[in-house]
Structure 1
Amino acid sequence: MSQSCAIVSCQEISRVLCYCCNKNLCLNHLSNHRGLSNDQPNSLTDQINILNDQLNRLNIEKLVDDSRLKLDKWRDNSLKKVHHFYENKCEELDRYYAKQLRQQKKEVDQLYKKLSEINEKQDTIQEDSINELETMIVDVKQKINDIEQKLIPINTRPLSIDNSLISIGEIKIQGFDLKTLLSPYQTCHFSENSGFALASNDEFLLIDLNHDLCLFDKNLTIIKQSIWNYGAIHDICWSSALASFIVITEKSKAFLVNGNDLSIDSIEEMQNHLWMSCTCSNSLLYLASLSNAIIEFSLLPSFYYRRRWDPPITCKKDEFIKDIACNNEKLALIVAIFSDNIAHLIVRSLTNFNQLFSIRLDMRNLSYYLPIRCCPLKNNEWLVVEANTSQLFHVVEDGKLEGKLTYDKSPYNAVLFGSNILVIRTDATIHFHQILH
C-alpha cells in the first residue's frame, strides 16, 4: 500500500524512503530533504569546530594560577599557625630558663646569708658551719654548671600532614549511614561527670573537661587549654559570624569564647536568663530557656533581641524541650513527655517557624537528668543521641527514620567535626568515628 509524503502539508504519494531518517518522501520534497541532510552534518561540524577553538583558547596557566590562590591562602594560614605555635614554645622555653635562674639566684642569696652569719660569729670556731657552707657552694655550682652546659631536653615529632586536608576536584558527598559507622579510630579518656557539652568548627573541637576548656584538633591533640571559672556549662555552639564559641551556663550567664586563643568575654545582653540549649544559624543565635521559650538574637552588628516563641507554639503544656539545633535554615527541637516516655524530633522553618515535620522516636525509660541531643548532619539530615538507653537515631530530610543503632556506651552528646568525622561523647570518653563517603 502506497504511503503519503512525510511532509505534513504535502498530499503527494511517497516515492522514496530516506535511509538516514527513515522517512517516506515524494519526489518534489526529496531534493529539499537532501539539502537539509547535507546541511545538518555541516552544522554539527561548525559546532564542533567552535568547541575545539574554545578549548584551544583556554589559558591553562591562568586557570592554574587563579586556582592556586586558594592553596596559597591555605599555606599562609597554616604557616601562621605553625609560627604561632613556635612562638608559644619559645615563650615556654624562656619561662623555663627564667625559673631556673630565679631558683639558683635564691640559692646564691642563701649562700651569702650563710656566709654573713659565719662572719658575725668570728669569735667562735664554726668548723661545722664552714663545712656545710662549702658543701652548699659545691651543690649550687653543680646546678649552675648543669644549666650552663646541659641544654633542656626538647622532644619533637615530625609534623604529619593528612593528605585529605586538601581535596582537588568535586567531592561526592553521600548520605550518612548508621550501618556503616566504624569503630572509633581515636578515643580520649577523662574522669566521669566532667560535663557533656561540645561544639566544633571546621578545624577545632571545644570541650569542657574538669573545669577547663580544651581545644582539640582532628588528631585529638589539645591545642589550647584554659581554666573555666564561670559555673557548670549547659551548652556550647559555634558562631561562624563571630568566629567564636558561645557558652551558656547554669548561672544564667552567657559568654563568647574566642576560637583561637580561648579568651573569654561576657555577653551582657543575654544575662539573667536560665538558658538550657543554644544553636547558631549564620548571624542569628537561638536559645531555649527553662520555660520552653525559644528566643532569637541577632549577632551582627551587635547583640540584640529579635523574636520569641513560647508554649504552646514551641511545645505543649506537659512537654519539655531537651535540645535545639540549626541546620540550613531549619531548627530542630527535641521535645520529651516524661510521664509517657515519649520523645519527638520536630523540625521547623527558621523563616516563619512553621513545622516541617515531626517524628516520634522509640525511646524507653526517658530520664529527666540524662541528655537527649540532636546533631545536624549533611544533606539536611539529623542524628539524635539518647543517653539513658544508648540509642542513636538517624532521621533524613523528609522526616523518615533511616536507621537506629544501640551504642556501646551511653552517648551524652554528638557533633559532626568537618565533613567526615563524627564525635560522640560519653560520660568518660570522647570517640572519633570516621564517616565513610
Structure 2
Amino acid sequence: MAPTPLLGSRTLDRQTARTLPPGPRLPTLVQSLLFATNRKTYFPRWREKYGDVFTIRLVPSSRVCVVLSRPDHIREVFGGSPAVMHAGEGNTALEPAMGSSSLLLLDDEDHVRMRKQLMPAFSGQALRGYADMVHELAVAEIATWPIDTPFKMHERMRNLTLEIILQVIFGVTDVDRLNTLRPLMDKIVSVSPVIMLGGFYPPLLRIPPWRSFLKAQQQVDNILYDEIARRRGNLAGRNDVLTRLLSAGEWTDVELRDQLVTLLLAGHETTATALAWAFHELARRPEDQQFGQNAADHNADGELEAIVKESLRLHPVVYQVGRRLTETTDIAGYRLPRGTTILAAIGLVHRDPEHFPAPRDFRPRRFLSDDPPAPGTWMPFGGGARRCIGAGFSLMEGTEILRATLSAYNLHAPDPTPEPAQAKNVTLVPKHGARVTVTRR
C-alpha cells in the first residue's frame, strides 16, 4: 500500500489552513528546532497561548502537526481505528537502523501479525521468567560502583540496560561474543537522527561518520544472524526473549533481526533514562528513598513499581507519540484532513494539575493511594493498539534494578537542585548525567 501523503506545504491549501487549530506563526525551521531541542518548554507555552489543541509545522515539507493535550482527545486517537491512525508511517526515519519489518514501522494487517507473534515473549509468565536474570545482572553492575565518589547514574544505567538486552533479550552469554558486541552495540544505540537519515541517501554511506555506523551495523547484523542460526532447533534450557520468539512463531531471519534491533533501540535509552531520573529524585528526597528501601527489603514490588511509574510521569522519556491520518477525520472538535500528523503530548498530560495534583513534585505514593490517577492520564508507553509491547518488561526491569540498588546502598545528591532535561534524539535525558554518590547501607 502506498504511504499516505503528508499534509504540508505541497498539499495544504489556504481554505483548509483556516480550519486547522491555531498555532505559532514562526518559520517552519524555527518551530522544528524548538521542537527538537526544547519541546518540554515550548509545548506548555503554546498550549497556554493557543489552547488544548494547537498546530505546529515541522520539517520535512512544513508538515502539519496537530498537538493534543487532553486525555479525552488523546483517547479518540488511541481508541480510533488503526487503519485510520497510522503510527508506522510516522516512524519511517527509523527504517535504516531498525529495518522494514520492525514492529514500529508496520501498519494494518502486517502490524497485527507481527505483534501477535511477539506477544508470547512479553506475557506475564514470560516476564516472571526473566526477572531473576535481570536481578543478577543488576547486582553484578552495582558491585562495580565507586563508594563515596560522585558518578553519572545515566551512564551506569545505559551500561546495565545494554547488558540486559544482550543477555536477557538476545540471549548472548558467550564471553568473547559479549566482548565483541558491547562496543558495537554502543555505536548503534548512540546513533543520532542525522546518521539514521543517511540510509535514505546512499552516497552518504561512503563517507564518515555514516560509513563507520554502517560498518558497525553490518558487524552486529552478522553476529545476530549467526546467533539466530545457532538457536534454531536448539532451544532447550534457554529462557531469553529470542528463544521464546523462535518457539512462538514463524519468522524469517530478517524479521527476527529487525525485531531484535527494534527492542535494542526502543528499550535501551528509554529504560536507562527513566531509571536515571528515578535515582536522581530518590537521592534528593530522603523520605522517598526510605520508602523505596523499605519496599526493597520487603519485596514490595508494587511500591517499587510505583517509583518507576512516578519517574516516567514526572520525566516522560518520550514527550509525544505520533499518528498519520489516512483519511479525513473528526478529532478534538476539528475536522482534520488526510495526511495530518497527530501528536499526542504525553508530557503535557503528565504535568497537568487537573490529573496529577502537585504535578511538579515526585510522589510515588500517588499510584498507591485510594484515589490513583484516572485511567488514560498516565501514558508513558502510548496507548491503544500501538501501546509499547515492551511496557511490562520495562516496568519489571526497573523494579528489579531498584530492588538490587536500594537493598545495597544509600543514595546522596552531590547537588540538591533539580537537574534540567536535555533533548537527545527522541528522548529527554538528565543534562548532567544524573550525578549521585552512594554509600553502603
Category of TM-score, reference length = shorter chain: under 0.3
| TM-score normalised by structure 2 residue count | 0.21
More helix by share: 2
More strand by share: 1
- Greater relative contact order: 1 or 2 (C-alpha under 8 angstroms, separation 6 or more)? 2
Greater radius of gyration (CA): 1
